[in-house]
Amino acid sequence: MTTNYDEIIPKGVLFNLREIQEMKLIKISMLKKLVFNRRIEIVKIASKLHISRTELIRYLESNTHGIIS
């Protein structure tokens, strides 16, 4: 079974870090680490960090693994 993130994540273009945390996907502290380590692409508007829906889905899909036994 695979997770369909396109169905789970609400429609939108950009999400700020708080919105992603409120979706219960990734905590803000982890998102900041991913940004700092250049593992996820951001859009910076003024001083706020945003992540595109496409980038969020890409990151989640590339880091989702099946059941490990």
Q: Place 20 in a pLDDT band, splitting at 50, 70 and 90.
A: very high
Measured distance between the N- and C-terminal CA atoms of the chain, rounded to whole angstroms: 15
Q: What is the pLDDT of residue 12?
A: 94
**Is there a contact between 53 and 12 (Cβ–Cβ < 8 Å)?**
yes
Q: Is the pTM of this model over 0.85?
A: yes
CATH hierarchy code of domain 11-62: 1.10.10
**Is there a contact between 29 and 68 (Cβ–Cβ < 8 Å)?**
no
Dihedral, CA of residue 30, residue 35, residue 38 and residue 42, to nearest 10: 130
Domain boundaries, the chain: 11-62
pLDDT digits (tens, 9 = 90+) for 28-64: 999 999 999 999 999 999 999 999 999 999 999 999 8
Q: What is the pLDDT of residue 66?
A: 76
Following DSSP, what letter does each residue of 13-61 receive, concatenated?
Answer: SEEEHHHHHHTTSS-HHHHHHHHHTTSS--EEETTEEEEEHHHHHHHHH
